[in-house]
Amino acid sequence: MTPEITVLTLAALLWAVQFIAYLAVSHGKMDVNKAIGPRDTEIERPGASGRMHRALSNLTEGLTLFAIAALVIAVTGQSTSFTAAAAWIFLIARVIYVPAYALGWTPWRTIVWLVSFFATVAMLLAALI
């Protein structure tokens, strides 16, 4: 398995951990009937619950682009020390992003997000070069 695919697998596990953390933080803070209903209207997620939900949504979006980058690198056999380092930078930044978002670290949350984004873009550019 290439380092990029290993990191993609670990990032998917991070998603699962973040989802469980979101559920734990949200327990008892949201209307259960609305949560299990059709969600025709937005569910109010107060405080840390809302921040954890937004962080999870952000990871979901980031994983889409990262998965494309990791798969392109792996399928085309272009894994290098540069792409492996970029993948690990992505994952480390995403791990740091969770407390940065949950605890409202301004402006660090945005800086950490930018690091993960540019690491992914670097992988995509490396695949084209």
Domain chopping of the chain, boundaries: 3-27+45-128
Residue 81 has pLDDT above 70, yes or no: yes
Torsion over CA: 60, 65, 70, 71 (sign): positive
Quickly state the pLDDT bin for 1 (edges 50, 70, 90). very high
Chain segment 13-55, per-residue pLDDT in tens: 999 999 999 988 876 666 666 666 666 667 677 677 888 989 9
Q: How far apart are CA 85 and CA 87, in angstroms?
A: 5
**pLDDT over 70, % of the chain:** 85
Q: What is the DSSP letter of 40?
A: -
Domain topology for 3-27+45-128: Four Helix Bundle (Hemerythrin (Met), subunit A) (1.20.120)
Give the residue among 84, 62, 93 at the shortest CA–CA distance from 4.
84
Q: How far apart are CA 36 and CA 65, in angstroms?
A: 30
Query: Would you say the pTM of this structure is higher than 0.75?
Result: yes
Say how many residues make up the chain.
129
